[in-house]
Amino acid sequence: MPENFRTEEFKVEGEKVLSKIKELIHEGNIRKVIIKDKDGKTLMEIPMTFSVVGVLIAPQLAAIGAIAALLTEATIVVEKAE
């Protein structure tokens, strides 16, 4: 049986990208996180499998922090399982 997915978009200031992503991961049911710049260009796409959510998410969070430092505004697109 195929799962149903929905996407949500959040516009945030650059310095708040990392905290917003941590908040969304904590909420659960995340399948994928996409970070876009203010022009809509995809900067990073992270699949959130069960293995990634554990220990392996730390390097992605460090990369997100580095990207966020360069942004004034970003859009976070989240794909969630329903």
Which class is domain 5-81?
alpha beta
Decide: 33 and 45 in contact? Cβ < 8 Å.
yes
For residue range 36-81, what is the model confidence (pLDDT) as tens digits? Answer: 999 999 998 988 765 455 556 677 778 888 888 888 899 999 998 8
> How far is C-alpha 48 from the chain's CA centre?
9
Tokens representing residue 25 in the block: 């991961």
* Number of Cβ atoms within 10 Å of the Cβ of 18: 19
For residue range 7-20, what is the model confidence (pLDDT) as tens digits? Answer: 999 999 988 998 99
Helix boundaries (H) for 1-82: 17-27, 50-53, 57-70
